[in-house]
Amino acid sequence: MPKTEDHQIPIIAIVGRPNVGKSSLFNRLIQKRVAITSDIAGTTRDRIYYRLEVGDITSILVDTGGMEYGKKENIEADVQSQARIGIAEADLILFVVDGSEGLTSNDYEAAQILRKTHKPILFIANKSDHTGMEEQRHELMKIGFGEAIEVSAIHKAGIDELMITLEKTLKKQGWKPQVAAPENKNVTNICFVGRPNVGKSSLVNALFGEEKLIVSPIAGTTRDAVDVGIQWKGQEYNLIDTAGLRRRGKIEVGLEKLSSLRSLEAVERTDIACLILDFKEGISKQDMHISSYIVEAGKGLMLIVNKSDLMKKRDEEENRFLWNLKHKFDFLPWAPVIFVSALKKTNIEKILDIANQIQSERSKTIDLDELDGFMREVTYRHIPPKVGINRPKIYSLEQSKVNPPTFTFVVNDGKSLHFSYRRYLENELRKKYGFTGTSVKFIFKTKEYEKKGPPRKQK
């Protein structure tokens, strides 16, 4: 697919017949490359897409293995269903075969289907960690994609090299490092995401029906025809991809399903993502996946529960919904939830009021002395648990950025702090300083001293 102005993030799809190790490779590639702290408990295993930083290029990695439906024996149907959903959107395909078994007729069939897509393909032989690889190499060439990139997802072999090849390939295709939300910091960027039929278009149209709302072109955003600038209570907002939602009729619902991965691009450009839910449907795994993505991308998040006009006992049903979010799904406790009705136009204005609050939380800074005290207090109350015989140590903490608020911890070993301890730190930080409605980012930097030994003079 050729790149266009509104097509800025490469989608990389892992494709291949069953059992070649697509999911293992997927997991290996995303491991430690994403901010796992923020993943919502219980959803990691069935996620099929992740935000993957390939060098300095942000991409979306898709595991089409998770999309296989139908009988596994029916490779053609399998690959075709993958082709329809995953491959159709991919900018680069990682075609995976089994380097220990050699090629099967299913691989050849898959290859043929992939060739027809005319998409760029990287040919990968997984499980290439066995002794017979010499003979296998020649055999693998026969499928016509040149020499295979040899990896072992399980034994972590060839993964760094694959990442380097990926980066080179994407750069050659012309992909650039992602430019974050438009620069103008007086403007808050907002996007609306959610499953088909939750009422995104209705909600956007209801928002535009608000009397106090002024639609105004904002300098710097005109480049993008699908964005809409608005003013609300003297504050400027840029609604990303909104023109499309306003125009859209029902006919396109099916089409939208297919392009759901593309809608993640709007998330990349935004400050705040509004995830729309249908009160009757509740929250689904798919909603949690997109929320995890929003958090990984370091954005603000608000949950808008639409169709509240269908509630019979309002308080009771709202409480049940909130209880479910909190207890059943272990959902992000810091994301504000509002109940609205696009149909009755209730609570619509609250969306922008809350967006404004989230944006000020995203711009907040905590000074160094204050954070130093915080760090001493929380590590005193709960010392980082030992890893083997070593106890991780945190030396200092500072806020290195805003939008999203980013905190840099200098530690003796950046990798040693346990996931649950990172979560503890985030919870404590939020308890003390708020940051309601926004993700926060933690960077754990290994102290130079520990890495290289003591420097001669300074420190």
Report the interface residues with ligand GDP, using CB under 6 A: 194, 196-202, 250, 253, 306-307, 309-310, 341-343
- Whose Cβ is closer to ligand GDP: residue 293's or residue 424's? 293
- Whose Cβ is closer to ligand GDP: residue 225's or residue 253's? 253
What count of residues does the chain have? 459
- Whose Cβ is closer to ligand GDP: residue 196's or residue 333's? 196
- Whose Cβ is closer to ligand GDP: residue 278's or residue 426's? 278
Which strands form 300-306's sheet, in the order they lie side by side?
Answer: 214-215, 228-232, 235-240, 187-193, 272-278, 300-306, 337-339
CB-closest chain residue to ligand GDP:
199
- Whose Cβ is closer to ligand GDP: residue 354's or residue 378's? 354
- Whose Cβ is closer to ligand GDP: residue 208's or residue 433's? 208
- Whose Cβ is closer to ligand GDP: residue 79's or residue 206's? 206
Query: Which residues 6+ apart lie within 8 Å of 310 measured at CB?
Result: 279, 280
Give me the DSSP letters along 147-198: SPEE-BTTTTBSHHHHHHHHHHHHHHTT--PPP-S-S-TTEEEEEEE--TTS
CB of 293: closest distance to ligand GDP in angstroms?
18
- Whose Cβ is closer to ligand GDP: residue 257's or residue 401's? 257
DSSP-based three-state secondary structure for 358: helix
CB of 247: closest distance to ligand GDP in angstroms?
11
Using the CB atoms, write b or e for 278-307: b if 16+ within 10 Å: bbeeebeeebbbbbbbbbbbbbbbbbbbbb
The separation between CA 356 and the C-alpha centre of its own chain, rounded to angstroms, equals 23
Residue 293: C-alpha distances to residues 35, 62, 246, 290, 425 (Å)? 10, 13, 24, 5, 21
Taking Cα atoms as reference points, which of 49, 52, 29, 23 lies closest to residue 290?
Answer: 49
- 8-state DSSP, 85: I
Indicate the residue type of 317: E
Q: Is 194 in contact with 277 (CB distance < 8 Å)?
A: yes
- The whole-angstrom separation of Cα 124 and Cα 151 is 7
- The whole-angstrom separation of Cα 221 and Cα 320 is 40
Torsion of CA 381, 383, 385, 388, to 10 degrees: -160
- Whose Cβ is closer to ligand GDP: residue 36's or residue 343's? 343
- Whose Cβ is closer to ligand GDP: residue 250's or residue 431's? 250
Taking Cα atoms as reference points, which of 276, 217, 211, 214 lies closest to residue 245?
Answer: 276
Cα dihedral across residues 408, 410, 416, 421: positive or negative: negative
Taking Cα atoms as reference points, which of 289, 278, 250 lies closest to residue 67?
Answer: 289
Q: Give the strand pairing for 394-401 and 214-215.
A: unpaired
